Structure 1
Amino acid sequence: MEGSVKKDEKTNKWFYVADVGKKPNGDRNQKKKRGFKTKKEAEKALNELLNQVHSGSYVEPSKMLYKDYLKQWLEDKQTKVRASTMLTYSWLVEDHIIPALGHVELAKLNPMLIQQTYTTLMKEGKLGSENIQKTHTLVNDSLNRAERWGLISKNPAALVERPRAEKKEIQIWDIKELNAFLWSARVSRYHIAFFIAAWTGMRQSEILGLRWKDIDFDNKTLRVVQTLRHNSTELVSTTKTKASNRNIALSDQTIEALQKHRRRQIKERLHAGEVYNNHDLVVCTAVGTPLNSRNLNRTFYDLIKKTKIRRISFHSLRHTHASLMLASGENVKIVSERLGHANIRITLDTYSHLLPNMQRDAAQNFDKLMLPGDELMEAVNQY
């Protein structure tokens, strides 16, 4: 199979011509793709197309369904994104994009069909606005590559406006609600998971991946280096972002709670005997295996119902931790580091609802630093 890249002198843009096999009558089957701004872009697209032809995965656009193309595109993505990101991609593609658009031939996709898909997803309410935005990103990215490969003449998703994401109001507990919940949860074998979430702001996946060797009892710190994949029992030695891999300082109460939990876990291990499968996990099942997040959430919601307080998500314990720290006057940068945010702007954007009150408190606190008017004038005169 051969191909070449040339420049169109009339449009001053580049194009490629490639042999992709034989037509049914035996003639050469050539594909031409125009409109590349640079020679490098045209060469990249040509190489991608020829690689597909050589590997035997090339299919004529008129015969290829979008679902078949998406499966190949998704498989190729595995080498370019993190495992946690890949789980989200697979879920959106397999559960939402393919059911809606998978039956359509790749070459027959159009902006109206794609827009209707987004509208339906919004009306059904099965996906939040942020995930509908991600759906658009995946559709657009997959069809961009299809265009580069010459499988379609133009990416129809590029003509569809990116869906708007509505910012959800953060739900948190106040001190009374948090204390009431933790008191009810004190007898639960998963009490330590709720305690860590409230006292450190760690994500659920980070808590379920936390090992005893990651905790430094002498220096009262823990290191976030491992997570548990959502709705699975697979441990991953990666965190959500680079900033998520972090050290978190622990309070005396947290150290005490961890030590108490460890003594309880040792008893469980001795009781289980040979069936105990030790993963060194702080939060685990009675036989030491990783705890599926669904089981933890089930316990969490049962305890909320028992306590008769407002229902919030487990993730809202993280928001509760951050909000209470900020409301108490803690430095935003410190809170951002504890949460493992990539930058302080994320923290400010997420908890901006607290800033007006904090600014008022700051203004009053500055008053306390300064002398009243008469005393200030006297000090100036003395100077």
Structure 2
Amino acid sequence: MASYEILNPTKKGEPRIKITVEEGYDDRGRRIRFTKTVRMKSLSDRAIKKAIKEFELEVATSNKVTKNEELSFEAFVLEKWMKLHVKKNLRLRTYQTYNSTLTNYIIPFFKGMKLSKIKPIDIEEFFAYEKDSGRKNLKGKYLILKSIFTKAITWKFISKENDPMEEIKEPNVDKQHREKSYYNEEELLILFKVLEGVQPKQRIAIKMAAVLGLRRSEILGIRHHSVNFNNNTILIDAQLHYDHEHKKFLLGPPKNGLARTVIVPDKFMEEIKEYMKEHRKQKELCGDAWEPAIDENGEPLDLLYTNPYGYPNHINSITNEWVKLLKRHNLDYINFHGLRHSFASFMVAKNSNIKVIQEQLGHTDVRQTIQTYSHLTKDFKLKELSKFDDIL
């Protein structure tokens, strides 16, 4: 990456510019910069671009540039993999998740190590350390490392023979120590009773997850026009994300890139309708104080889930309020996403058509639904077949 600044002319009045070329980071994480002052005949765009190109070529062909063998793991990940692959090809939420995982776990472990010198034993030691520390999401960290070294091979930074991930298997997670992940029917009944005394906005958000199987970001992305009272449906065609880099909210496509329409039970639709009426009244009362987020086209986002002035709540607000509710009413802990699993669990328990569950959840393939909830279908089948014990 190159930049320039215009300097004061020489004593003879010749224009000058200072060109800076950045070549990533050194092994200590410091930026590698090369600068050169160039006297110019003119400051035209064409002349400046020519001077920059010539200096970039000079840097690239000199011995100053860090060789691939000397490139640190951290420099490759931040300057190459994140910028050229993750940021350009993956969704904002994925970029933010990867950045957090790298910053807090992966980079600190491999800090100071050269990309080309990392061996399979180093990867094994990383996962052993993660397990001993009781940390989660080992699968996610495995996939990140797999992608990093796959790109390193594709981009010729290391050879395929030096791929440290080739013989590394995905870490096993002890299922016996997993946290409770969903509520059964009895627990859902208790939850719905508790929700009768909860503020409408929070109650609606929780039910959208537990009754409709929606993801948190999908709930936050619902706009008023998404709800159809004539046929009891909600169009799920967007997710709300927060861009920390540019400090603004953005609507992105659903997780699999495909919009879907979810069916809403009559009683719940009445609750949603009442909430939306009150939300519209709040907008009228605010008048000019109503300040919704603005989309990329300069249009206001007519979101359902906002603060009293029309602006989106913090992305984590639903989760934070959910945790407070669990503590306040002494309910068994499941994370907010577990409400989506509770929806699927309830549907499976009622012998619902697996295709209906798939479409409501937004899975691209029914096999994904079957695989995700196969443990539930197996449990319920065993329960049904155990009735033979009474006559055998």
User: Normalised by the size of structure 2, how large is the TM-score?
Assistant: 0.71
Alignment of 1:61 with 2:61, yes or no, is no
Cα separation, 2, equivalents of 1:126 and 1:53: 42
Alignment of 1:92 with 2:101, yes or no, is yes
Cα separation, 2, equivalents of 1:53 and 1:236: 40
Cα separation, 1, equivalents of 2:336 and 2:287: 32
The equivalences for 1:191-270 within 5 A come to: 191-229=203-241, 234-243=249-258, 245-270=259-284
Amino acid at match of 2:137: G
- Mapped contact 2:213–2:340 kept (Cα < 8 A): yes
Cα separation, 1, equivalents of 2:123 and 2:380: 44
Cα separation, 2, equivalents of 1:125 and 1:317: 24
Deviates more, 1:270-279 or 1:206-215: 270-279
**1:158 Cα shift?**
2.5
Cα separation, 2, equivalents of 1:115 and 1:300: 37
**1:345 Cα shift?**
1.7
> 2:188 matched to which residue of 1?
178
Task: Name the CA shift for 1:57/1:287 in 2 (closer, same or farther; >3 Å).
Answer: farther
1:337 to 330, 339, 359: 359
- Mapped contact 2:153–2:159 kept (Cα < 8 A): no
**1:362 Cα shift?**
7.5
**1:357 Cα shift?**
5.2
> 1:73 matched to which residue of 2?
81
> 1:144 matched to which residue of 2?
153
Amino acid at match of 1:353: H
Q: Which runs of 5+ in 2 are unaligned?
A: 1-56, 293-300, 388-392
Q: Which runs of 5+ in 1 are unaligned?
A: 1-49, 366-383
Task: Name the CA shift for 1:364/1:92 in 2 (closer, same or farther; >3 Å).
Answer: closer
The equivalences for 1:371-382 within 5 A come to: none
Cα separation, 1, equivalents of 2:64 and 2:139: 33
**1:88 Cα shift?**
2.7
> 1:352 matched to which residue of 2?
374
1:280 to 292, 302, 310: 302
3-state DSSP class of the match of 2:88?
coil
Amino acid at match of 2:90: V
Amino acid at match of 2:74: K
Cα separation, 2, equivalents of 1:360 and 1:119: 36
**1:296 Cα shift?**
1.5
Report how many residues are paired.
Answer: 312
Cα separation, 2, equivalents of 1:166 and 1:241: 28
**1:360 Cα shift?**
6.1
**1:295 Cα shift?**
1.9
Cα separation, 2, equivalents of 1:269 and 1:125: 47
- Mapped contact 1:225–1:246 kept (Cα < 8 A): yes
Q: Deviations over 1:226-246 (max 9, x none)?
A: 112279762323111135x21
Amino acid at match of 1:197: A
Q: Deviations over 1:197-246 (max 9, x none)?
A: 12100111100111111111112111111112279762323111135x21
Cα separation, 2, equivalents of 1:135 and 1:79: 16
Q: Percent identity?
A: 23
> 1:103 matched to which residue of 2?
112
Task: Name the CA shift for 1:340/1:170 in 2 (closer, same or farther; >3 Å).
Answer: farther
> 2:202 matched to which residue of 1?
190
- Mapped contact 1:231–1:292 kept (Cα < 8 A): no
3-state DSSP class of the match of 1:273?
helix
Alignment of 1:154 with 2:168, yes or no, is no
Q: Deviations over 1:115-162 (max 9, x none)?
A: 21121122212332322322332343243235x245897223324343
- Mapped contact 1:201–1:338 kept (Cα < 8 A): yes
- Mapped contact 1:61–1:152 kept (Cα < 8 A): no
Deviates more, 1:176-185 or 1:160-169: 160-169
- Mapped contact 1:140–1:158 kept (Cα < 8 A): no
User: Normalised by the size of structure 1, how large is the TM-score?
Assistant: 0.72
Amino acid at match of 1:136: L
- Mapped contact 2:92–2:243 kept (Cα < 8 A): no
3-state DSSP class of the match of 2:231?
coil
**1:61 Cα shift?**
2.7
Cα separation, 2, equivalents of 1:271 and 1:57: 64
**1:262 Cα shift?**
0.9
Cα separation, 2, equivalents of 1:361 and 1:160: 38
Higher helix share: 1
Amino acid at match of 2:127: Y
Amino acid at match of 1:238: P
3-state DSSP class of the match of 2:234?
strand
Task: Name the CA shift for 1:127/1:358 in 2 (closer, same or farther; >3 Å).
Answer: closer
- Mapped contact 2:73–2:111 kept (Cα < 8 A): yes
